[in-house]
Every structure is written in C-alpha cells, then in structure tokens.
Amino acid sequence: MRAAISWSGGKDSYLALHIAVSNGYVPTVLISMMNDLTDHSRSNGVNLEILKLQSKSLNIPIIFIKTSWQDYEKNLIKVLQTTKETYSYECCIFGDIDILEHRKFEENVCNMAGVTAYLPLWGKSRIDLINYNVNLPISSKIIVINNKYLSLNILGSDYNKLDFKILESNGIDVCGELGEFHTVVINAPMFDFSIKLSEGITHRLESVTIIDYMSKNSKLY
C-alpha cells in the first residue's frame, strides 16, 4: 500500500516509516506540520533545514504545512485531502505508541480525509522500541526537554546512550511519549547520508528548553 508519513523529524516517525516499509508499505511523501511562527516542526521542534536534508537522504519528497495548534486538525485534514491523489497514497503513517486520544484523533482525521491511518508502533513495549533504536541503529539526538522532568545535561545527548533505567526509575517515559523530550534523527538505515549538525543554540523557555541545530551539509539540497 502506498502511504504518506506524518513526519516530525524525530525517532518515532522514522521508526514508524522503517517498520511500515518492512511490512510492504511504499512511502510517497513526508508531511511535516510546521510551527506557524518559526521554521520548525510543530511537534518536535526540528529545523526546516534539517527536515529538508532528511527528505533528501530518504529520497522521499516532503511538504510543509504551517499551522497553529488551534488549526492543526483542520489543516491536517486539508493537506491529506489535497495531496492523496498527487502523491498516490491510500493511508497515512503515524508514530504514536499508546496514547489512545492521539490514535482516535489520527483515525478521525484520516477518515475525514478519505484515507486510512496506520500506526506501526502501536502497543509495542518500551524495551522493544529501545532495541529497535539501538540495533537498527537509529542515530538521534535530544533537542527538546520538558524542564519539569529533565535537566539541561541531557540536551544534545545521543538517545541510544541514555541511561534508560535511571530515566524509568525517575518516572520518565523512556520513549518521551508524554512530551518529556523530543529527538531529531541524523542517521538511520534508510538514509543515503548522515546529517552533520553544527553547534546548537540553546533557548530556555517557560516549560521547555530547546537546542536549535543547523546542518553542516546544507549544500546538499
């Protein structure tokens, strides 16, 4: 089945893509919902420049939709409705794991747009998901932390090198499913080339701290 991918630029959207392809799905386009005020993905805070490089490395075209959270549902339905024929897909792939509210939202959006929702990571155990990341491997870095749960020293860390036992003992979801942290993928088995990051600029906001990376290989696109 041909599919669009809801693409944040993080580890879960990549892993969902990877598993879907291994199950016979054919990706035709990445769809990135973008912050309406900045050039970053709405959910993960990945820089536009890096998203373009991920698309090039994957050899999958990408489209960007600027949106507020208030208009997110409306704009996602619209982009699915208006691109499903152009990119010839029948379903959209999402990287959610076990938050039922998110699944219901995605299934409803896809139903409204006339496509089906596919969640390859749904119901998988945390240990299985960690093993996927480590063993494939998927190389990703922590680019956003929730200040309530995590300290600054984890920002910029390689996800696969985190001490997952300590995170779990402190009540942190090791996959960041509840928004404790977000990641950016810089290399993975489906990538033609790795993305080299420049030194990031850190921004501390009220609830989160973000490290804004640019790329050293932006000349590739």
Mean predicted confidence (pLDDT) in 118-122? 98
Mean predicted confidence (pLDDT) in 78-93? 97
Residue 196, sorted as left (phi over 0), alpha (psi -120 to 50) or beta, turns out to be beta
Strand 91-93 to 116-118 pairing: parallel
pLDDT attached to residue 89 = 98
Examine residue 143 and state whether it is found in any structural domain, yes or no: yes
pTM for this entry: 0.94
Examine residue 127 and state whether it is found in any structural domain, yes or no: no
Strand 26-35 to 2-6 pairing: parallel
- Is it the case that residue 208 has pLDDT exceeding 70? yes
Enter the tokens of residue 52: 């373009």
Examine residue 130 and state whether it is found in any structural domain, yes or no: no
Does one domain contain both 114 and 141?
no
Give the domain range for residue 167.
137-220
Mean predicted confidence (pLDDT) in 190-206? 90
Q: For residue 168, what is the domain's CATH number?
A: 3.90.1490
Enter the tokens of residue 194: 């790795």
pLDDT digits (tens, 9 = 90+) for 140-196: 999 999 999 998 999 999 999 999 999 999 999 999 999 999 999 999 999 999 999
Examine residue 9 and state whether it is found in any structural domain, yes or no: yes
Beta bridge partners of 39: none
Does one domain contain both 70 and 32?
yes
Does one domain contain both 142 and 85?
no
Does one domain contain both 163 and 113?
no
Q: For residue 40, what is the domain's CATH number?
A: 3.40.50.620
Contacts for 123 with CB less than 8 Å, ≥ 6 apart: 97, 98
Strands (E), the chain: 2-6, 26-35, 62-67, 91-93, 116-118, 139-146, 181-187, 201-204, 208-212
pLDDT digits (tens, 9 = 90+) for 21-50: 999 999 999 999 999 988 888 888 899 999
CB contact at 8 A, 38 and 92: no
Does one domain contain both 25 and 111?
yes
Q: How many Cβ atoms sit within 10 Å of the Cβ of residue 182?
A: 24
Total tally of structural domains belonging to the chain: 2
Question: Position of tokens 């998203």?
Answer: 51
pLDDT attached to residue 175 = 96
Question: 213: pLDDT confidence band, cut at 50, 70 and 90?
Answer: confident
